[in-house]
Amino acid sequence: MSYSTADSLRPVTLDDVRGAQKMLMGVARVTAMEGSRHLTQLVGSPVHFKCENLQRTGSFKLRGAYVRIAGLLPEERAAGVVAASAGNHAQGVALASALLGVRSTVFMPKGAPLPKISATKEYGAEVRLHGHVVDETLAAAQEYAHETGAVFIHPFDHPDIIAGQGTVGLEILDQCPEVRTIVVGIGGGGLAAGVAVAVKALRPDVRIVGVQAAGAAAFPPSLAAGRPVSIKNPATMADGIKVGCPGEVPFGIVAELVDEVRTVSEDELSAALLLCLERAKLVVEPAGASPVAALLSDPRGFEGPVVALLSGGNVDPLLLNRILRHGMSAQGRYLAVTLRLTDRPGALATLLGVLSVVDANVLDVSHVRTDPRLGLTEAEVELHLETKGPVHCAEVGQALRDAGYTVID
């Protein structure tokens, strides 16, 4: 299965996806399908997770990368391949190249998480750090391809990539033949397009819902315009779907076969990631948790059985820590509050006593006595508290005010 530049816009068919599935035997894992009791209760019908976060390299990206590189002509393989990515595609290209004996160079932004850089190197790629945003990194990789003759491996805008990603759809139908709705995150569109090609060819009755982060949602305006439209400065914690413009090839497929594209907020993404970790014991990155976020935001808006495709689990530990706190805060389980009190012996102990009475667990305390904003006898205290939900947060705030404290925020 090889496509030249001239026919890179060739339609992707079910036969292409089936061919990719044969090619990936023994390479990509058939990842697990896990049920979610909590989401099943919320949605009112069975909800299952398709766990591509447990795929080799930690995401679905290996599938498309391997199929694309395996389809290269001998002279193209000899020239090597090059890619640009902040993480998942980088690792997929690196491992696929190593398995196929092809030299790979991967350009990554200078701010890419260290674990992703290290993993890409360990899979065998030469890593070059360039630029601070993906667009700069992408330009550098394309310039390298032009100068050296290396084949540029696009993360989503190529028929081979889409066919490889579509193998996830075949697995879903095999593992959950009764499925009625598949929910999948969308960045450039390669995964959603591939799944749609496979599923709609075999089960046109299955509804496919794409999900984008609200701060990086290029598909809604693109679908409205009937062509790929760029958005400026996409911003979201879900870097796996932070794409400013859909790909030409996947856009046409998504426009034709995906039934609906929804958006989710950052709060909903962090709450979804927290749910996956707590309830399903699955480490999922924000982009991978986007289908769960969509289910949480409108649980009765999906006909079941539902399969939520968890596309990846590569999350930087530092980011994970911030996201978990954000998710806990969004659920009213983490509260940061700043207040002023009289600076006298025992004042802090008295404050902590008030919190003890309302059963708020103190995680961190910052006590400031010297600041131009404070009066001579004042001190400012910033508290980070573990709480039990929105109602408990309100109770904590009221207890502090009843005790005579001035709550600043």
Q: Which residues are catalytic?
A: 61, 311
Closest CA to 137 of 119, 114, 111: 111
Closest CA to 287 of 220, 237, 360: 237
Give the dihedral sign, CA 233/135/229/68: negative
3-state class of 399 per DSSP? helix
DSSP per residue over 314-342, as a string? ---HHHHHHHHHHHHHHTTSEEEEEEEEE
The 3-state secondary structure of 45-108, one letter per residue: CCEEEEEHHHCHHHECHHHHHHHHHHCCCHHHHHHCEEEECCCHHHHHHHHHHHHHCCCEEEEE
Q: Are 186 and 254 in contact (CB under 8 A)?
A: yes
**Interatomic CA distance for residues 273 and 257, integer angstroms:** 28
* DSSP at 200: H
